[in-house]
Structure 1
Amino acid sequence: MAAVEKRRQAVAPAAAPAANFTDNGRVSMSRGATAAESEEDFLRQVGVTEMLRAALLKVLEARPEEPIAFLAHYFENMGLRSPANGGAGEPPGQLLLQQQRLGRALWHLRLAHHSQRTAFNNNVSVAYECLSASGRKKKPGLDGRTYSELLKRICRDGGAPEEVVAPLLRKIQCRDHEAVPLDIFRAGMLTCFVLLEFVARASALFQLLEDPGLAVADRRVGQAVLDTLEGALGTGDRAAAPARYLEAGSRLGPDSLAQALDRAAGGRRPSSPMARQEFLEKAAALFIAKVKPVC
């Protein structure tokens, strides 16, 4: 009998360990039973990794003198890009939000010079996204009113006289109710920045021509420079881009300008003065004549 009892105990199933229950009756899970997310996975899932990567790329593109202040400004304004933050208030709250978006779009547009085409185009896309954010009562997209307001802000902040840039704005602005696609937006932004640089170079050139005491230039000399600019801008309209750029650069070189100035200064008759405003308006008109309307 003792042997039989021992065999029964050997084949009897082992008692299951008692389950641990929490106060609300659910089985508690041990830490080892669940796969804990790593710190790297967490940062990637919440978007921090991509956000920091984008911020560092902006620093490399802009190469600011004070990178820490640049990053502080960047993160300070990041919330305005989210469509969920748009349209939360009624006017004047809505107007304030619109001004904030315009300011942030301008900040992005100025991060890279327009000659750095890849970086500039990326910043244009971000600016377009900022202005296209929708709210509860607004569909996503950019209207002509916001687009035109941004063009005016760019020209005004660029320091160009209003009379100089007004013809360009009339040419590339859109109607308030028109939808502005990204390619039109990009063309308008690029045209504005190129014109501002063109006017700044023309202003520096006039400073070399003017009489310091009278703040005016000889009209013959000023007109000779304008004629040279016109010839350079009209060079090879149908030629390939590299050849056109080389020929235009040669016409604006020191030798060509010196010859034009010598011919103008050789006149014997006295010439009437030309003011800076007139010179800039005529120089800008040469540039604007080459711009095609975008809307």
Structure 2
Amino acid sequence: MAAEGPGLKMAAAPLEKMAATEKRRTSPAAAGGDPSRPAVAANGVPGGHSAACFLLEAGVTDMVRAAFLKVLEARPEEPVPFLAAYFEKLAQSSAEADEADAGDLPRQLQLRLDRATWALGLAHHSHRTAFDNNVGMAYDCLGTAGKRKKPGVNGKVYSELLRRLCREMGLPEEVAQSLLRKLLCREHEAVSFDLFRYGALTCLVLLEFVAKADTLYDALGGSGGADKRVCAAVLGALEEALRPSTAALPVRYLEAGCTLGPDRLALAMDIALAERKGGGMAMKKEEFLRRAASVFLSKVKAVN
């Protein structure tokens, strides 16, 4: 082995000196300090704990791990804003919970409804594992509200959550009422997790369905209005796609996709335009959305 050169010895000397200085600085008796006081590490953590120990004891490790898991579950297009909103909501919920009076049950319930609504929007419902985890978070959050002896969600809380989802996400009032008549249950009834998930999922899918129908209407006619016969042809194709079938589930998906494919829709619209005489009448967007939603609602099973 080659002998150490003078350059290596000169470089090692400052390092040894720095290590000795750091050791004296962190010693409890250094500079006349009190030997009975706990040592302070170089990172400022009492008791000589490492940074990792401090983060673990403060709960930061678990909090950051949970945030990263949510990012991996949701796969947002913009992860940084997602994380910023996530931590902001955590801080806001914690501050509001501290300020709220423990005896103010209506206020406590509103805070839990806010948190449950937020949890349901963390991941798209197509990400099944992530969505189920978020539904569980919302269910557990609402199940601890109030001073009931038995934990769980009752019909009153469940119904209020569904109303809030419909209201905050802009579902038309008439459509929302038709949906809620199928999903709501009695206020005193205990709501199982499966029923809770079914109601929340149905609301979210209908909200997306109506948004897609709104975009479709704009594509058919734009702000000037869409031809009534063309709209009727598209709604007929949509109803045919959702018609019950005896085929296996994957085959049903293929059949529905084929019915709503560009070729089939274009053919239906061409036939409608060929049958039109004169200028034709326009269908208002509100009517188109209402009829499209009614096609969807006809397939929703009532909980009672």
Measured against the shorter chain, the TM-score band is 0.7 to 0.9
| CA distance in 2 between partners of 1:152 and 1:122 (Å) | 22
Q: 1:232 to 1:51 in 2, by over 3 A?
A: same
Q: 1:246 aligns with which of 254, 257, 277?
A: 254
Q: Distance in 1 between matches of 2:229 and 2:276?
A: 11
**Is residue 2:178 matched to residue 1:167?**
yes
Aligned to 1:290: 299
The structural deviation recorded for 1:255 is 0.5
Per the normalisation by structure 2, the TM-score is 0.75
Aligned 8 A contact 1:88 1:135 in 2: no
Contact 1:101 1:130 in 2 (8 A): yes
CA distance in 1, matches of 2:274, 2:105: 62
**Alignment-derived partner of residue 10 in structure 2:** none
CA distance 1:229–1:67, shift in 2 (3 Å): closer
User: 2:290 corresponds to which residue?
Assistant: 281
Structure showing greater Rg? 1
Are the counterparts in 2 of residues 141 and 179 from structure 1 also a CA contact under 8 Å?
A: yes
Report the Cα distance in structure 2 between the residues aligned to 1:68 and 1:117, rounded to whole angstroms: 21
Residue 51 of structure 1: CA displacement?
Answer: 3.5
Are the counterparts in 2 of residues 230 and 286 from structure 1 also a CA contact under 8 Å? yes
Q: Which has the higher helix share?
A: 2
1:89 matches 2:98: no
How far, CA to CA, are the matches of 2:147 and 2:209 in structure 1?
42
Tell me the residue number matched to 2:275.
267
Closer/same/farther in 2, CA of residues 198 and 170 from structure 1, 3 Å limit? same
- Between 1 and 2, higher relative CO (CA 8 Å, sep ≥ 6) is seen in 1
Tell me whether 107-116 or 36-45 shows the greater mean CA deviation: 36-45
Q: Could you tell me how far apart the structure 2 residues matched to 1:287 and 1:191 are?
A: 10
TM-score by length of 1: 0.77
Specify the alignment match of 2:208 in structure 1: 197
> How many pairs were matched up?
257
Question: What is the percent sequence identity of the aligned residues?
Answer: 51
Instruction: Return the offset for 1:73.
Output: 2.1
How many angstroms apart in 1 are the aligned matches of 2:67 and 2:298? 39
- Where 1:266 maps in the other structure, the secondary structure is helix
How far residue 39 of structure 1 moved from its aligned partner, in angstroms, is 7.5
How far the C-alpha of 1:294 sits from its partner, in A, is 2.1
Query: What is residue 128 of structure 2 aligned with on the other side?
Result: 117
Matches within 5 A, 1:108-257: 108-136=119-147, 139-210=150-221, 212-213=223-224, 216-234=225-243, 236=245, 238-257=246-265
* 1:61 aligned onto 2:73: yes
Structure 2 unaligned residues grouped into runs of 5+: 1-47
Are the counterparts in 1 of residues 108 and 146 from structure 2 also a CA contact under 8 Å?
A: no
Shift of 1:137: 5.1
Deviation at 1:145, TM superposition (A): 1.0
Describe the shift of the 1:218–1:132 C-alpha distance in structure 2 as closer, same or farther (beyond 3 A). Answer: same
The answer (yes or no) to whether the contact 2:235–2:292 under 8 Å persists in 1 is yes
Q: Is the contact between residue 229 and residue 276 of structure 2 (CA under 8 Å) also seen in structure 1?
A: no
* SS of 1:175 mapped into structure 2: coil
CA distance in 2, matches of 1:198, 1:169: 16
Shift of 1:176: 1.1
The verdict on how the C-alpha distance between 1:137 and 1:180 changes in structure 2, with shifts beyond 3 A counting, is closer
Query: 1:258 maps to what in 2?
Result: 266
Quick one: distance in 1 between partners of 2:145 and 2:238? 44
Asked whether the 8 Å contact 1:235–1:248 carries over to 2, the reply is: no
Find the aligned partners of 1:254 and 1:89 in 2 and give their Cα distance. 57
Cα deviation code 1:220-259 (max 9, x no counterpart):
11110100000111153x2211111111111111101000
Superposition deviation, residue 120 in structure 1: 0.5
Q: How does 1:33-72 map to 2 (within 5 A)?
A: 49-62=61-74, 63=76, 64-72=79-87
Tell me how far apart the structure 2 counterparts of residues 211 and 49 of structure 1 sit (CA, whole Å): 51
Mark the CA change 1:88 to 1:210 in structure 2 (over 3 Å): closer, same or farther.
same
Q: Distance in 2 between matches of 1:212 and 1:47?
A: 53
